[in-house]
Amino acid sequence: MKIIEGGVCAAQGFSASGIHCGIRKNKSKRDLALIYSDVKASCASVYTTNKVKGAPLTVTKNNISDGYAQAVICNSGNANTCNANGIKVAENTCALIAEALKINPKDVVVASTGVIGQPLDITPIKEGIPSLVASLGNNSEEAAEGIMTTDTRLKQIAVSFEIGGVECKIGGIAKGSGMIHPNMATMLVFITTDCNISPDMLQRALSGDIKNTFNMVSVDGDTSTNDMVTVLANGKAGNDEIKTQGEDFDTFMKALNTVTVYLCQRIAADGEGATKLLECRVSGAYDEDNAKVIAKSVICSSLVKAAMFGSDANWGRVLCAIGYSGANVDVNKVDVSFKSSKGEIIVCQNGAGVDFSEEIAKEILLENEITINVCLGDGNGQATAWGCDLTYDYVKINGDYRT
C-alpha cells in the first residue's frame, strides 16, 4: 500500500470541483463542492445517530437505497436542518445537479454543513451549478475546501493498493471541527475508489470500519445532526468484483482503514481551536467494548483536554475519567504514561502516582501529538480514540459562531 496524490480524484473515473456560489458571505471561501464518477458506482453510507437529522441525510438515504450513486453535491454555510422546507431544497438540489450532469436525480448524494435552523436558499446553488460542473477536473482540494466550515486545514488523502494483481486506488476528503463525537458529528467524509466491489460488501466494509475509526473521534462531545460518511466505488480499476468476504475484501478493508484513520487523526487535530492531537490507547481491558468506553471517556474529559492544552501531566484526571467511564475496570491495576516524539514517561502505576520528572513530562507534553497510554490488568481488550485539547479558541469560535 502506498500513499499517493489526488484525494477523491486519485481513483480512475472520478473528478471534482469546488466553488463559491454565495451561500457564505465571504467570497474567498468556497461553499459548494461536487464529486462525480464517469459511471454509476456502488455506494455505501453511514449517518449520524442524532434523532434530529439533517434533511439532506433523509434525501440521500432514500436516493442510495438501491446501493448506487454517481455524484456527491455538498454545500457549507448552512446545514439545511430544522427548517420548514429542508427536504424540498435537498431534493431540488439533486434534481438541478442531475440535470446538469445528465444523470438520474436518484443517483445523487446530497449533504449540507453549517448552522442549524435557518432556511437554505437554493438560488445560489442553482446559479452556481453551471460553473461547478464546468470546473470538474482533478480538483480534490477545491472540493475539500468547499465542504469546510470552521476547519482550518484541508483534509485529504489517497492510497493505492493491489487486488488480484490489479492496481486500485482509494482517496477521501473530510471536514470536521466542532461537534465531533462518537457516533459521528458535524463530520462529512467522502471517499472514492475505483475498486470493483458490490454495494453490499462496500456497506459491510464501511459499517465495520467506522466502529474503530470515526466513532472513536471526539472533539467536544456534541453529536451533530448532519454527519455522514459516504463511499463511492466505481469499479474502473477492473479487478474481479468483490462479492464475498475473503482475501480481497480484507485488502480493501485495510486500504479503507488507512484512509479513515488518517482522516480521523486530521479531524481530531483540527478540532475547533485545537492545538494538539490526542490519542488514547487502551490495552489490557476486560474486553474491546470496555476498552472503547475507557478510551472515549479519557479523550472526552474536559479536564484532561484542558490539562493537555497546558502541557500539564495531571494524570489524576485520566484516572478520574477512567473511574467514571462506567467500564468494568479494576482501578488498582491502572498504569498511565504520556508519550510524544520527545519520549514516553510513566506517571501512574497500579492506580497510584509514581515519582516522575515534571520537566521531562512538560517537554513531552509540549509536542503537538500526544499519546495517552492506559494499560489495564483486566484482560486483552484494546482500543484507540482520538481527540484534541480544549483551548481558548474553542470557546472563542463557539461563543459567536453565527456572526
Shortest distance (Å) from residue 332 CB to a copy of itself: 10
Helix/strand/coil (H/E/C) assignment for every residue in 371-387? EEEEECCCCCEEEEEEE
Q: What residue has cell string 450532469? A: 101
Cβ atoms of 120 and 23 within 8 Å: the answer is yes
Per the CB < 8 A criterion, the answer to whether 194 and 8 are in contact is: no
Instruction: Give min distance, CB of 8 to a copy of itself, in A.
Output: 28
List the catalytic residue out of 48, 149, 186, 230. Answer: 186
Binding residues (CB under 8 A) for a copy of itself: these are 49-53, 79, 81-84, 115-118, 178-179, 181, 183, 220-225, 300-303, 306-307, 309-310, 312, 314-317, 319-324, 329, 331, 348, 351-353, 390-392, 394-403
Q: What is the smallest separation between the CB atom of 340 and a copy of itself, expressed in angstroms? A: 17
Identity of the residue, 41 or 364, whose beta carbon is nearer to a copy of itself in the bound complex: 364
User: In 10 A of CB 276, how many CB atoms?
Assistant: 23
C-alpha cell at 152: 482550518
Nearer to a copy of itself by Cβ, of 106 and 333: the residue is 333
Q: Helix (H) and strand (E) counts for the chain?
A: 11, 15
In terms of CB distance, is 65 or 302 closer to a copy of itself? 302
Q: Which of 121, 197, 113 has the alpha carbon at shortest distance from 161?
A: 197
Closest approach of a copy of itself to the CB of residue 27, in Å: 23
Reported as half-sphere exposure (CB side, CA atoms, 13 A), residue 161 has a value of 23
| Grid coordinates of 325 | 467511564
Residue 116 or residue 154: which is nearer to a copy of itself going by CB?
116
Closest CB to a copy of itself among residues 165, 399: 399
CA distance linking residue 213 with residue 267, whole number of Å: 11
Active site residue 186: yes
Q: Tell me the C-alpha distance between 255 and 358, whole Å.
A: 40
CA neighbor of 73 nearest in space, from 38, 112, 42, 29 = 112
Residue 321 amino acid letter: A
The three three-digit cell numbers of residue 82, written as one number: 430544522
Task: Using the minimum distance from each CB to a copy of itself, give the nearer residue, 301 or 340.
Answer: 301
CB of 400 to a copy of itself, least distance (A): 4
Angle at 172 between CA 137 and CA 396, to 5 degrees: 105
Of 105 and 114, nearer to a copy of itself (C-beta) is 114
Confirm if 263 and 174 have CB atoms less than 8 A apart: yes
Q: In this structure, is the dihedral angle defined by the CA atoms of residues 244, 249, 250 and 253, taken in order, positive or negative?
A: negative
Residue in this structure with the C-alpha cell 480514540, named with its chain if needed: 385
Q: Where are the alpha helices (DSSP H) in 178-325?
A: 199-210, 247-269, 288-300, 302-309, 315-323
Distance of closest approach, residue 302 Cβ to a copy of itself, in angstroms: 4
Q: How far is the CB of 351 from a copy of itself (least distance, A)?
A: 6
CB of residue 223 to a copy of itself, shortest distance in Å? 4
Closest CA to 375 of 304, 294, 306, 278: 294
Antiparallel, parallel or unpaired: β 228-233 and 369-375: unpaired
State which residue, 42 or 301, has the beta carbon closest to a copy of itself.
Answer: 301
Query: 173 with 23: CB under 8 angstroms?
Result: no
Residues that are catalytic? 186
